[in-house]
Structure 1
Amino acid sequence: MVEWFLELNAVMQAFVATCFTWFLTALGAGVVFSFKEINRKMLDGMLGFAAGVMIAASFWSLLAPAIDMAEDMGHRAWLTAAIGFLSGGAFLWVLDECLPHLHLGFPRSEAEGVKTGWHRSVLLVLAITLHNIPEGLAVGVAFGALAADLPSATMAGAVALAVGIGLQNFPEGAAVSVPLRREGFSRLKCFGMVSCPES
């Protein structure tokens, strides 16, 4: 299995890694078939674990290699990485301001982004989509750096990033599908909205 993955070109490796992260989101969303409610403390613990995994994966698989690559190219390593980091944050801020969405646990009146009359469930799904854009970019960049043969890019780092994103996607899938079920949607609809937002 590992040899098969290593023989793929970088685009296909990124595709397979992204499918893996989606699969874990779908697996988390599948919790809705077993439970109508999840213990709040357990869910908070799972989401805290997911946040820790994502911070570690972001640093070790993206930020640290970016600093090393900038250093290898003779740039001020901290400055190049800081500009990229802040640009990414600004990009997400603009999306957050423009894309109508609603975070879990908030009333419809506190929807963010451009004002719209869209249903609460659509706004929740758009919040998931907003969150998934940088994840897809991160996986693509990690495998793209490998394809570009950059010295600081490693297969282990790219795979670790995909695994980290996947690990945090499981509790995220559960954290969104179960509250949608409480709002009266069928289990299948909840699963579909979280695992396939375009459904």
Structure 2
Amino acid sequence: MTPEKAFGDDGCLRQPKELSINKVGHALHEHDPVFKKFAFSENVSSLFSSLGYKRPAVIQSMYIFKQPGIGGEVVPHQDNTFLYTEPLSCTGLWLALEDATITNGCLWAIPGSHKNGLKRRMIRDENGTHFDRPSPSYDQKEFVPLEVKSGDFVVIHGDLIHQSFENLSPVSRHALSLHVVDTEGCKWSKDNWIQRKSAPEPLYVS
């Protein structure tokens, strides 16, 4: 959500504040028992066990509101760009809390794009936070919509190129997003934008 959409010329919100929040993050699973219960649930743990993760940890969690009329665009990106480990291990979990449709800003992805490698990284250094190279240009015809019903769970490979468009409809599109990395056999990069003072609690240790 961009400020010019949320606020009028007089500096006041265009709509009630509860309909003006963009997202809340990035450690809901560490500070709220409801979100922690979900993040550490057997369903989530068993998913990562089936994917072969040895010591998975939720590295960030976000509640995304995608508000009616002002929910902003999320440009094409790969999750490994922001949450880099060596070797790469990020997997995104996207839980639809409301129906996500083309009209209200569902996810779009390029099928098979996760096989083509990481395109760029976001780096945090003495010059601040920046990308190591410009964003590639993508053919929008390659993207397909991922329309899902409330309660559906989307698993996103860290190299999958995905995006979402603005929500210009009168209907919100709430979602919970978790990103998980393996903390065994994978090294968290010292120049990632997220840096922790203590190691994250693993979902399990195999």
User: Does the alignment reach a TM-score above 0.5?
Assistant: no
Please report the TM-score for the alignment, with normalisation by the length of structure 1: 0.29
Q: Which has the larger radius of gyration?
A: 1
Structure having the higher strand fraction is: 2
Which protein, 1 or 2, shows the higher relative CO under an 8 Å CA cutoff with sep ≥ 6? 1
Structure having the higher helix fraction is: 1
Please report the TM-score for the alignment, with normalisation by the length of structure 2: 0.29
